[in-house]
Amino acid sequence: MIDLRSDTVTRPTVTMKEVMMEAEVGDDVFGEDVTINTLEKKAANYFGMEAGLFCPSGTMTNQIAIKLHSGPLTEVICDQKSHVYLYEGGGIAYNSMASVRLLDGDRGRITAEMIADNINNPDDIHAPVSKLVSLENTMNKGGGCFYDFQEIEKISKLCKEKGLKLHLDGARLFNALVASKDNAEKYGEHFNTISICLSKGLGCPVGSVLLGSVEDIKKARRIRKVLGGGMRQAGFLAAAGIYALDNHIERLSEDHERAKKLAYALQDKSYVEKVLPVDTNIVIFTLSDKMLAADFVNKLKESGILAVTFGKHDVRFVTHLDFNDQQLEKCIEIISKL
Ligand SMILES: *Cc1c(COP(=O)(O)O)cnc(C)c1O
């Protein structure tokens, strides 16, 4: 089976497992796991931020950040395709009791101008108080597209002027960095908090890191505890993260190349109506003749390819560390025979 359902399906490599088994660990709730402490510092430094917090999932890092910056009677501004809105179980309402203002961006990318038009007047008691803007980069539901850094600068300037906080769901931020060649440290200057996932393109078995100021991360640590995310000798997992930051970032360009080749193979097939432009490791395509994505995914499965539906007539492929050139060739062969 060729598994293109997500970049979360990767297994740790042999070397990654060796590094994990040798990790020096301690009780992280006491702050005594040196491997976790090293990972948090390393990830923070990478983005020019002060501190980091290792968490079990990207949902948790996002939800902690949202809770940190918003709350009852306030509003979070984000795109309608955002992971924080669509795929975190309604967590914004459940965890933070905040309202959400959904914008309709370009494949999920919103602009400073759109945000400016959607900030509530703080003196109007009818409206929730706008508190937080949450961006996503790369944008999953938008087919892995990434932001133009100049737009991020404009958004951050607007947020500072209006007293709003700015969070980045960077589950696939490394894909955006490799594709755009933007400077990671500059990201830290513009966001209050950034969530990065180690368990996606970087190939770790578990883990996300929330990055921010020392003060915010101190509060975030308290929120992680109440959510049940205070782990003990989790340095075994953090060791995989350190290894991935050192060894698995640059290679993401290979995933991007393979995704482009998949899109190229799909684009002229009679069963494909259109393929979204491929900017990183995600390929989203729409089926022709109102074919149901669920039926097509079943057909793919019978032919040896696992994929997910991404809307009624849309299918998603994600390339990753465990998808190599041999599998790509096989995949293209299957696609052409369907
Ligand atoms: C995967 C993902 C997350 C976090 O997911 P977890 O499965 O909870 O780690 C957050 N945002 C985006 C855009 C994602 O793709």
- Best CA proximity match to 1, nearest among 227, 264, 326, 305: 305
What value does the mean pLDDT of the chain take? Answer: 98
Please tell me the distance from the alpha carbon of residue 199 to that of residue 165, in angstroms, as a whole number.
Answer: 26
Q: Which of 57, 64, 138, 197 to mutate to test the pocket of ligand 1 (most atoms within 8 A of CB)?
A: 197
CA angle 6, 17, 225 (to 5 degrees): 70
| Band (194; pLDDT cuts 50, 70, 90) | very high
Q: Whose CA is nearest to atom 2 of ligand 1?
A: 171
Q: Whose CA is nearest to atom 6 of ligand 1?
A: 58
In this predicted model, what pLDDT tens digit does every residue of 216-249 receive, in sequence order?
A: 999 999 999 999 999 999 999 999 999 999 999 9
H-only helix segments in 181-292: 184-190, 214-226, 235-247, 252-267
Mean pLDDT over residues 163-168, rounded? 98
Confirm or reject: Cβ of 319 under 6 Å from ligand 1: no
In this predicted model, what pLDDT tens digit does every residue of 291-312 receive, in sequence order?
A: 999 999 999 999 999 999 999 9
Contacts of residues 82-86 at CB distance under 8 Å and 24 or more positions apart, as own/partner, are 82/108, 82/134, 82/136, 82/141, 82/169, 83/58, 83/136, 83/140, 83/141, 83/169, 83/171, 84/134, 84/136, 84/169, 86/141
pLDDT at 65: 99
Confirm or reject: Cβ of 169 under 6 Å from ligand 1: yes
Confirm or reject: Cβ of 197 under 6 Å from ligand 1: yes
DSSP state of 258: H
Q: Whose CA is nearest to atom 3 of ligand 1?
A: 58
In this predicted model, what pLDDT tens digit does every residue of 15-64 receive, in sequence order?
A: 999 999 999 999 999 999 999 999 999 999 999 999 999 999 999 999 99
pTM above 0.95, yes or no: yes
| Band (89; pLDDT cuts 50, 70, 90) | very high
Say how many Å lie between the CA of residue 207 and the centre of ligand 1: 10
Please tell me the distance from the alpha carbon of residue 178 to that of residue 198, in angstroms, as a whole number.
Answer: 15
